[in-house]
Amino acid sequence: MTADAPRIELYVRSLAPTEARDTQEAVVERLQRLDETGRISGFELALCGDCVCPSLNTAATDTGERLLRRYEAFQRWAASQDRELTGFRQRDTESLLTGTTVTGVVFPRITLAEYRNGGLAFVAPSANGTDQTGVLDRLDAY
């Protein structure tokens, strides 16, 4: 492993087969190879689910708090780098039982967060004007 090898966090909505399964499998396989060869200093796979609603009790769990903190860190990083997070969106969900509506954060199907020297160094997918960087694009940089 090189001294400046990044640590990676990979966020996926589901481990179940979906239309994104092939991409997800390819990304995990590449991360495993990059880790084995020392190009990265390890990776963590995290499930983000379909939506994280900050106003619900589930957001107060360790998992919910972590996802919301990460999303806020991604937003700060994007603003500081003059980049836009792509694929993230806000979604309103109405309860069938109560009729109330809550707003939640939807992560892209697959998100890569790169950390170097303890700090967030890159998030994919993101864009800078017309320059879009997807997860696979970012893996090519390693």
CA dihedral 45, 48, 118, 136 (to 10 degrees): 60
pLDDT at 63: 87
pLDDT at 138: 95
Q: Quick check: is 1 in a domain?
A: no
Interatomic CA distance for residues 23 and 97, integer angstroms: 36
Residue closest to 94 by CA, chosen among 86, 104, 85 = 104
What's the whole-number mean pLDDT along residues 3-18? 84
Structure tokens at 46: 């995290």
Q: Quick check: is 53 in a domain?
A: yes
Render pLDDT for 41-98 as a digit per residue (tens, 0 to 9): 999 999 988 888 888 777 788 888 999 999 999 999 999 999 999 999 988 888 788 8
pLDDT > 70? residue 35: yes
Structure tokens at 122: 């890159």
Domain carrying residue 74: 7-140
Q: Quick check: is 78 in a domain?
A: yes
Interatomic CA distance for residues 130 and 68, integer angstroms: 27
pLDDT at 17: 64
Q: Quick check: is 25 in a domain?
A: yes
Task: Give, rounded to a whole angstrom, the gap between the first and last alpha carbons of the chain.
Answer: 12
Q: Quick check: is 118 in a domain?
A: yes
Burial class (CB in 10 A: 0-12, 13-18, 19+), 74: buried
Confidence grade of residue 4 (pLDDT, cut at 50, 70, 90)? confident
Q: Quick check: is 2 in a domain?
A: no
Q: What domain count does the chain have?
A: 1
Of all residues in the chain, the percent with pLDDT exceeding 90 is 60
Interatomic CA distance for residues 88 and 110, integer angstroms: 10
pLDDT at 18: 67
Q: Quick check: is 73 in a domain?
A: yes
pLDDT at 46: 93
pLDDT at 61: 84
Between the CA of residue 109 and those of 21, 50, 125, what are the distances in Å?
10, 9, 10
Q: Quick check: is 99 in a domain?
A: yes
